[in-house]
Amino acid sequence: MNAWHVHADLMGRYLSGSLDPALAMSVDAHLGGCAACRAAVPYEEEWLAGGWQRLADEAGLPASGPAERLLLRAGLPGHLARLVTATPTLSRAWLVAVVAVLAFGVIAARQTDQALPLFLVLAPVLPPAGIAAAYGPRVDPAHEMLAATPLSGARLLLTRSTAVLATAFALAGLASPLLPAPPWLSAAWLLPALALTSGCLALSTRVPLPLAAFAAAGLWLTGVAAAAGAAGDWRVSFHPAAQILYGCAALLLTVLAYRRRDRLDPGEPR
Amino acid sequence: MTIHVKGLTKRFGRKHVLNGLDLTVTPGVTGLLGPNGAGKTTLLRCLATTLAPDGGSMDVLGLNPADRVQRTELRRRLGYLPQDPGHYPHFTAFDLVDYVAILKEITDRRERHAEVRRVLAEVDLSEQAKVRVRRLSGGMRQRLALAQALLGRPDLLILDEPTVGLDPEQRMRFRAVVSKVGESRTVLLSTHQTEDVAALCERVVVMDGGSAVFDGTPGGLAATAAGRVWLSEDPPDAARLFWRTADGRYRTLGERPAGGGAAEPGVEDGYLLLLGDRARVAA
């Protein structure tokens, strides 16, 4: 049985916060086991109930996934982190497919120099392919439900596209240094990838997104093959002059896609 | 007046799905009845801003959905349950509603989570909050889709066949939720269940061929069948619209069959008589 109780003077100092930490902890411990002393501690019932409710709410929250935690640590606001990580394309299957394509390109290039173009030609196609599978009624099971929300249309598509683009760039960027080529050539896929992505988004204001991605990729592959055939050198599509062209195209197409962004909204009159 | 639609048209290829539709919807619960292909879903999609009509004008909550800025404002104020809501099966029930809440611009985490819990409780899914969607039954998924539509206490609730897949108890609960919303706001729902209309709706609009062919109260729709509903012991002429009831008698619509006695008409009788030949095919 506990015969000792917190006397009035000690309680007063405890409540004012002027006790030294060791003594305050002793009082804490005593209050935990003594209902009589606890009853002498004034508190606001509403404030306490609110505190318990907040604690219960926090404890009941679903745990964030590793990708979401990573984005939160990178400083992205919580709602954007959740929005990005829920992008349908960013599924394990898509990531495995991208890694497999890149790994195949790197391994083939290291086996024989003649396989190097394979990586450089395929890497730019990955972002538009991912974006095509990220938005739209054919690929997103909840598209119709989400289309009636204020963030649908261009805002949702561009958020998802950014997430896909960043992921594809990060993976291709990690694979590039493994290529048996000078650094400028290993990174020569970057600007074509940007141009293809912008082109795909700009074209999707006219035709469905998968068709736009298919057209952009087809144009790229045909162009590279035609240029290589005409010049007798596959590198011609990756030379500095061509890179300037890709950079300009990426810029212009991004502006075009932005100006036509309203057309990405399913509710926009045609 | 919440919705005012005038001369609305929509065509898919050569098929005219909405044919110069005129419609006004006021606060309360309004039901849309009609056979498959009548244009109900297309109308609801246009009102929910997920589909642009080809012609005509729409005024929804005083806003014009054809205008980008007003359309976004309208989306902030409406809740929409599509006919085929679709789900992300790997999400939990909580995550799915939370995701839609983010898209409805509820960015504050604490406020959003409190709202998600509220709507999950409203549809009796609190216990399943952490269950993955793929593990939920069809009825639970439908309630989950209803939960996301209730986010943010919308001024206008558009529900496309919301009672599909619900068992009788769940339907009763759904009716309670919807009628509560309809006390102060506007609910427009399409259904094939005439009993839902009779139990829930203050107004009913029957659509056929892309136009409204009836607009009135459920009682008014039932009254259109007055003097044309009969009960008889023997089956009538096969050319008539009839069915065998639970007590073994035959309920016939239209001309009086031999030996038939007059019966109290219901919403379903009025609806079937209004549709005429198509109702006979459906029956």
A79–B76 CB contact, under 8 Å: no
For residue A177, count other CB atoms closer than 10 A to its CB. Answer: 11
Which pLDDT band holds residue B188 (cuts at 50, 70, 90)? very high
CA trace torsion B142, B143, B144, B147 (10° rounding): 130
Nearest by Cα to A147 from B81, B88, B93: B81
| Residue pairs spanning A and B at CB distance below 8 A | 104
pLDDT (tens digit per residue) in B247-281: 889 898 888 888 889 999 999 999 999 887 565 44
Tell me the residue length of chain B.
283
B112–A88 CB contact, under 8 Å: no
Nearest to B50 among A83, A141, A148 (CB): A148
Cβ–Cβ < 8 Å for B155, B186? yes
- Tokens encoding A248: 């300009």
In this prediction, residue A150 carries a pLDDT of 94
Distance to chain A for B51, nearest Cα, Å: 5
Nearest by Cα to B107 from A148, A77, A147: A77
Which pLDDT band holds residue A57 (cuts at 50, 70, 90)? low
Q: A78 at the B interface (CB within 8 A)?
A: yes
User: Considering only B58-62, B172-176, B182-186, which range has the smallest mean pLDDT?
Assistant: B172-176
ipTM of this model? 0.88
Cross-strand bridge partners of residue B33? B206
Cβ–Cβ < 8 Å for B39, B21? yes
pLDDT (tens digit per residue) in B23-38: 999 999 999 999 988 9
**What is residue B266's three-state secondary structure?**
coil
B75–A150 CB contact, under 8 Å: yes
Distance to chain B for A141, nearest Cα, Å: 5
Average pLDDT, chain A: 85
Nearest to A147 among B50, B114, B145 (CB): B50
The structural domains of chain B, ordered by start, are: 3-221 (3.40.50.300), 222-280 (no CATH)
Q: How far is CA A16 from CA A31, A42, A131, in A?
A: 16, 12, 59
A62–B130 CB contact, under 8 Å: yes
| B chain contacts of residue A78, beta-carbon cutoff 8 Å | 109
Q: A156 at the B interface (CB within 8 A)?
A: yes
Strands B55-60 and B78-81: unpaired
A142–B86 CB contact, under 8 Å: yes
Distance to chain B for A107, nearest Cα, Å: 33
Q: A92 at the B interface (CB within 8 A)?
A: no
Nearest by Cα to A109 from A15, A189, A12: A189
pLDDT (tens digit per residue) in A31-53: 888 888 888 887 767 777 777 76
Distance to chain B for A80, nearest Cα, Å: 8
Q: A151 at the B interface (CB within 8 A)?
A: yes
Backbone region of residue B64 per phi and psi (left: phi > 0; alpha: psi in -120 to 50; beta: other values): beta
Which pLDDT band holds residue B82 (cuts at 50, 70, 90)? very high
Q: Global pTM?
A: 0.82
**Looking at chain B, which residue has its C-alpha nearest residue A53?**
B114
In this prediction, residue B283 carries a pLDDT of 42
Q: B99 at the A interface (CB within 8 A)?
A: yes
| B chain contacts of residue A57, beta-carbon cutoff 8 Å | 110, 113-114, 117
Which pLDDT band holds residue B107 (cuts at 50, 70, 90)? confident
B195: buried, middle or exposed (CB in 10 Å: 19+, 13-18, 0-12)?
middle
Q: Which among A68, A143, A149, A156 is the top mutation candidate for probing chain B, defined by the most B β-carbons within 10 Å of its own β-carbon?
A: A149
Q: How far apart are alpha carbons B55 and B151 in whole angstroms?
A: 31
Average pLDDT of the segment spanning B73-80: 96
Cross-strand bridge partners of residue B59? B4
